[in-house]
Structure 1
Amino acid sequence: MTSVALACNVPVFRYALERWPADPYELVVLHEGKLSAEDFAAVDTLRQADVRSDTPANFHVRTIEISAAEDSLLQDIWKKRESGNGPLLVTLYPRNAQEVPDRVVSVHPLGSQITQRSVDSPVRQQLAKRLLSGDSAVWVFVPCGDKAQDEAAFERLTVEVKKNQQSLELPPQDELEEDDLFQPENPIELRLGFSIITVDREDPKEVFFLEMLLGSEPDLESLDEPMAFPVIGRGRVLYALVGKGIFRDTVAMASRFVVGPCSCQVKEQNPGFDLLLAVDWDEKLGGAAISEPAETPSKGPILIDIPTGKK
């Protein structure tokens, strides 16, 4: 994909962390008739963590009585539910996630354990912690369950991640300091570093996390192969590498893109989608968080190739 953009020296991962707010998910509670006291309590629990709360996650909660639902997608979901079930929690990808094949992340009964784990999970907490510690990118590795495939893919990923960490370089400090878009007051160390985190497909605490990842591209859910997802900024997943697609060239392409200059400052013109994470990014970044577009630099536009590294 080629796009017109304006270049700066700030690395993509740093620019994304400081200037790309995480897009909000929509959590829609579909119900028929009045909600019970138990259902209201479940909705209230979700709202305590949404973007309006003191510890915000990037999602909004809406309750919709099915007779008032105008969205045909929601109407179809309700029609397909099992008869006699109570309210449903329908989770939708952010509207800016233009590359996902289906808006729906998941559909579960309201109040189920999966519903309670939609907002946060142990692996997502660790992922956010690493991004906030300064990792340029965190690779999320999803084994398929076949030991031979998983070990081979993980070994390839580990070798290439280490190789890129050793061979790539950030722009010189003096060049960064001269760039108007550089934020020296950011409390997070600017460094080059990659890490890998594994999420078990059988872990019940990570069901929703896996639903977000595997629903982000066509056919990922049906593939019985290990996968790797590079994540940067405030939880932006670039794309999936699958099976033998996890190898030297694809890992290097993603790594170079992440640490390279942020030539395309418009978030939506870059690949990927945002994860739902329970993190107050602005608070963690302090005065260095700039959740709005930068002013247009005086230099003219250039054409850049935005990598789409697929399987």
Structure 2
Amino acid sequence: MPRILFPIAGLFVVALVHACNIPVFRYALERWRPDPCEIIVFHREPVTKSQHQTIGSLETLAPTYDGPTHLRVILSNVGGDQEPDHRELWQSLPDDAKSKAIHEPYTVVRCKVTQGRQVNVWHGRLSEVKALGITQSPARDEMSRRLLAGDSVVWLMIRSVNESKNARARDLLRSQFETLADKIELPEGVGLPGSELFADVPLLLKFSLLEIEASDAKEQFLIKLLTGMQQEAFAAGEPLLVPVFGRGRALAVIPASDLNEHRMEDLTVFLSGACSCQVKEQNPGFDLLISTDWDTELFGADGEVPADTPQRQRQTSKPKLLTIPKGK
């Protein structure tokens, strides 16, 4: 198989031949555990019993795997010893935010996005956090349901104020779903040693569209995260398109004007092709906070959970950086 090169909205990917024949979207579903987000609770005074209870409830919002939790809650005493990055984050907050921390702990929700960069999605009083819907919302529940039912990629569209652009983006996606499902073939050799599947989820090429309104009160945490990555385009009336696969991994946030048939095919070829680089951190994308207990849903309470990338490969694999030509 030749190299597959494609650029889109600042996203550059190289796919190389590898012994693993599992499609990227399926390998991610079974083996890539989501990256954690951080809830950093800044406080000046000792945390009260009721505040500790609130903090404890936040820690239960996401499932804990045999390893790091999908959501990490960190206490940071602004009057004591702080981690350097927490101190820097605290100092970057507005003065009015810092003054609020005198009376009640002040909270920042920080998530890891593309290429390891972290963004502050929200900040406010500790008492306001629970109502945010950090890990759960109707759209994310539906994404989880579809991915576990066998959808290869769920295309999330955040509708803009420009209805004609929304319609064009919708028509492009829907017209390409059937075309690409018929045109692209899954890799051969799935099920052979090194390419085993462990979950009962059907393996097929299936794509779907999920639309949400930017004004939807139940989706504000998700919307703020995604629109914050393409602020200028969204403010200019561009709907945003987000291909989601695996366990809620967003490949990119793409303004609709940056997507065409050729680029959509390139993205689909990459996600449907053999998982050439099994090390999650060397692949593009970032994880959305979703409250699904993926291991239990996929393999059952007592089922066999496949190991992620072997430690030896993590140590020896290095990303290959190539010059990417301009797209069509």
Q: TM-score range by the shorter chain?
A: 0.7 to 0.9
Percent identity among equivalent residues?
Answer: 29
- Greater mean alpha carbon deviation, residues 195-204 or residues 156-165: 156-165
Q: Which residue among 97, 115, 127 is the counterpart of 1:98?
A: 115
CA 1:305–1:11: 2 relative to 1, 3 Å: farther
Q: Which residue in the other structure is 1:125 paired with?
A: 141
Instruction: Kindly indicate whether residue 233 of structure 2 is the aligned counterpart of residue 193 of structure 1.
Output: no
Amino acid at match of 1:75: Q
Q: Which residue among 22, 38, 42 is the counterpart of 1:26?
A: 38
> What's the offset of the Cα at 1:82?
6.7
Give secondary structure in 2 for the equivalent of 1:92: strand
Q: Which residue in the other structure is 2:24 paired with?
A: 12
List aligned pairs for 1:50-129, cutoff 5 A: 50-52=62-64, 58-68=70-80, 69-70=82-83, 71=86, 72-77=88-93, 79=95, 81=97, 83-84=99-100, 86-94=104-112, 97-98=114-115, 100=117, 102-112=118-128, 115-129=131-145
> What's the offset of the Cα at 1:238?
0.6
> What's the offset of the Cα at 1:304?
8.9
List aligned pairs for 1:135-150, cutoff 5 A: 135-150=151-166
Partners of 2:100 and 2:106 within 8 A in 1: no
Give secondary structure in 1 for the equivalent of 2:26: helix
- TM-align CA RMSD: 3.2
- Greater mean alpha carbon deviation, residues 212-221 or residues 135-144: 212-221
TM-score with structure 2 setting the length? 0.80
Partners of 1:9 and 1:171 within 8 A in 2: yes
Residues 240-294 of structure 1: CA deviation (Å, up to 9, x unaligned) = 2213223212211111111111111111111111111101111112145325214
Partners of 2:214 and 2:223 within 8 A in 1: yes
- Greater mean alpha carbon deviation, residues 279-288 or residues 72-81: 72-81
Amino acid at match of 1:177: G
Amino acid at match of 1:74: W
Q: How many residues align?
A: 301
CA 1:165–1:90: 2 relative to 1, 3 Å: same
Partners of 1:270 and 1:306 within 8 A in 2: no
Partners of 1:3 and 1:269 within 8 A in 2: no
Give secondary structure in 2 for the equivalent of 1:98: helix
Residues 142-170 of structure 1: CA deviation (Å, up to 9, x unaligned) = 11122112112211122122321222221
Unaligned runs of 5+ in 1: none
> What's the offset of the Cα at 1:4?
8.8
Q: Which residue in the other structure is 1:159 paired with?
A: 175
Give secondary structure in 1 for the equivalent of 2:213: coil
CA 1:144–1:87: 2 relative to 1, 3 Å: same
CA 1:214–1:112: 2 relative to 1, 3 Å: same
Q: Which residue in the other structure is 2:186 paired with?
A: 170
